[in-house]
C-alpha cells in the first residue's frame, strides 16, 4: 500500500506563511486526500458504487447530505504562531489535538501584536462582540501607543523577574494577551471544515479570520474536491428557518418583504416603533439581499 501524496501539498510542507506582525501558519504533515474520502465512502456503499457516481459527484453527495465520517479519514497537522488573544478563541474548537509551547519551560520572545491602525475601530452597534465604524485618528493613535507602552513595560517586568530568579511559570503572569504563543494543531478534515465555517464567517474576529484563510488555503491543497463541495454547500449555503420559509411562501404569493415578515412573525420594528438593526427579521432581509445579488 502506497501512502497518498499530493504534490501541491507536499510543496507546502514546512513553509511558514506569515499572518499578522509575527505569526505564521505552516502545514507540517497530512494523511489522506480526496481519494481517501471516496475510498472510505465506498467501503460503506459496497460494490458497484463507482458506476453510479464518479468521485467528484460522490464527494459532493457526502457533503450535501452531511455524511461526515469519510471526511474524517483525512488529517492535517499545522504549526501555528499566533497572539494569545487569538489562541484563546482558537482553542474553543475542542475537536483537535493541541500541543502548545510552554512558558514554564521556555522564555517568551519579545514579540507582541501591535494591531494595524485600521484594525482599531468602534464597538459595533449590531455585533455585540465585534467592531464597527472607524475611530478618530487621535483615538487610534492613543490606543496603539498604550498597547505598545504596556506591552513593552510588561516584557521588561518579565525580564526583571527572570533575572531575579523568579520561576518562569510565575514570571509569565505579567505578560498581556498581545504576546505570541505557538502550537501544533492536528485535526481531521470534517472538524477543520467546522472550524473554518465559524472562523471564515464575517462575524468572526478579523485576526482569527486571517489565520483561517491561510489554514483553508493549505487544507485545500490536500483535498481540493472536498473543499469545492465545502465552499458550495457550507460556506455559500443559505439556510432558512421555519418562519423564514413561511415568509418566502408569502413573498411568492405576492406579499411585500415587510408584509411577509409580519405574516411570519419576523419583527422589523421595536415596540416603540423604531426600526430594528438586528434580529431574525433583519437577518431574513439580509438573506433576501443575497438572493437578489447576482453571483
Q: Do 29 and 157 fall into the same domain?
A: no
pLDDT at 52: 43
| CB contact set of 252 (below 8 Å; sequence gap of 6+) | none
Cα–Cα distance measured from residue 28 to residue 50, given in angstroms and rounded to the nearest whole number: 33
pLDDT at 50: 55
pLDDT at 51: 43
Residue 1 placed within a domain: no
Cα–Cα distance measured from residue 45 to residue 67, given in angstroms and rounded to the nearest whole number: 12
Q: Do 183 and 82 fall into the same domain?
A: yes
Q: Do 147 and 48 fall into the same domain?
A: no
Q: Do 229 and 246 fall into the same domain?
A: no
What positions carry a catalytic annotation?
199
Residue 72 placed within a domain: yes
User: Are 19 and 25 in contact, with CB atoms under 8 Å apart?
Assistant: yes
Residue 279 placed within a domain: yes
Q: Which among 174, 199, 219 is the end of a domain?
A: 174
Residue 59 placed within a domain: yes
pTM for the model stands at 0.90
Q: Which among 174, 199, 221 is the end of a domain?
A: 174
Residue 110 placed within a domain: no
Q: Do 86 and 124 fall into the same domain?
A: no
Q: Do 53 and 186 fall into the same domain?
A: yes
Residue 168 placed within a domain: yes
User: Are 98 and 183 in contact, with CB atoms under 8 Å apart?
Assistant: yes
Cα–Cα distance measured from residue 52 to residue 37, given in angstroms and rounded to the nearest whole number: 16
Instruction: Say how many domains are in the chain.
Output: 3
Residue 111 placed within a domain: no
Q: Do 100 and 158 fall into the same domain?
A: no
Q: Do 14 and 67 fall into the same domain?
A: yes
CB-based burial label for 262 (10 Å; 0-12, 13-18, 19+): middle
Structural domain harbouring 217: 7-105+179-235
Nearest to 189 by CA among 3, 33, 24, 29: 33
Cα–Cα distance measured from residue 47 to residue 38, given in angstroms and rounded to the nearest whole number: 13
Q: Do 165 and 270 fall into the same domain?
A: no
Q: Which among 235, 252, 275 is the end of a domain?
A: 235
HEC-encoded secondary structure of the chain: CCCCCCHHHHCCECCCEEECCCEEEEEEEEECCHHHHHHHHHHHHCCCHHHHCCHHHHHHHHHHCCCCHHHHHCEEEEEEEEEHHHHHHHCCCCCCEEEECCCCCCCCCCCECCCCHHHCEEECCCCCCCEEEECCHHHHHHHHHHHHHHHHHHHHHHHHHHHCCCCHHHHHHHCCCCEEEEEEEEEEHHHHHHHHHHHCCCCCCHHHHHHHHHHHHHHHHHCHHHHHHHHHHHHCCCCCCHHHHHHHHHHHCCCCHHHHHHHHCCCCECCCCCECCCCHHHHHHHHHHHHHCCC
Q: Do 96 and 205 fall into the same domain?
A: yes
pLDDT at 125: 80
Q: Do 166 and 184 fall into the same domain?
A: no
CATH number at residue 95: 3.30.1360.170
- Residue stretches of the chain with pLDDT short of 70: 1, 44-53, 295
Residue 2 placed within a domain: no
> How large is the C-alpha radius of gyration of the chain?
24
Q: Do 221 and 281 fall into the same domain?
A: no
Amino acid at each position: 500500500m502506497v501512502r497518498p501524496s499530493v504534490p501541491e501539498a507536499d510543496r507546502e510542507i514546512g513553509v511558514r506563511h506569515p499572518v499578522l506582525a509575527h505569526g505564521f501558519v505552516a502545514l507540517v504533515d497530512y494523511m489522506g486526500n480526496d481519494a481517501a474520502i471516496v475510498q472510505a465512502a465506498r467501503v460503506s456503499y459496497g460494490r458497484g458504487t463507482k458506476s453510479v457516481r464518479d468521485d467528484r459527484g460522490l464527494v459532493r453527495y457526502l457533503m450535501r447530505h452531511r455524511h461526515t465520517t469519510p471526511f474524517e479519514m483525512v488529517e492535517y497537522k499545522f504549526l501555528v504562531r499566533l497572539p494569545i488573544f487569538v489562541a484563546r478563541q482558537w482553542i474553543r474548537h475542542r475537536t483537535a489535538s493541541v500541543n502548545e509551547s510552554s512558558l514554564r519551560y521556555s522564555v517568551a520572545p519579545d514579540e507582541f501584536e501591535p494591531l494595524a491602525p485600521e484594525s482599531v475601530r468602534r464597538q459595533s452597534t449590531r455585533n455585540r462582540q465585534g467592531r464597527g465604524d472607524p475611530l478618530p485618528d487621535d483615538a487610534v493613535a492613543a490606543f496603539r501607543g498604550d498597547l505598545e507602552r504596556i506591552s513593552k513595560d510588561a516584557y521588561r517586568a518579565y525580564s526583571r523577574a527572570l533575572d531575579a530568579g523568579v520561576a518562569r511559570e510565575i514570571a509569565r503572569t505579567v505578560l498581556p494577551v498581545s504576546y505570541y504563543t505557538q502550537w501544533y494543531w492536528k485535526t481531521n478534515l470534517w472538524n477543520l471544515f467546522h472550524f473554518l465555517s465559524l472562523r471564515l464567517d464575517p462575524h468572526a474576529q478579523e485576526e482569527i479570520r486571517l489565520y483561517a484563510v491561510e489554514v483553508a488555503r493549505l487544507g485545500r491543497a490536500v483535498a481540493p474536491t472536498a473543499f469545492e463541495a465545502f465552499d458550495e454547500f457550507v460556506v455559500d449555503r443559505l439556510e432558512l428557518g421555519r418562519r423564514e420559509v413561511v415568509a418566502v411562501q408569502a413573498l411568492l404569493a405576492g406579499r411585500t418583504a415587510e408584509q411577509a415578515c409580519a405574516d411570519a412573525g419576523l419583527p422589523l420594528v421595536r415596540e416603540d416603533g423604531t426600526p430594528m438593526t438586528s434580529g431574525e427579521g433583519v437577518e431574513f432581509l439580509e438573506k433576501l439581499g443575497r438572493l437578489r445579488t447576482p453571483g
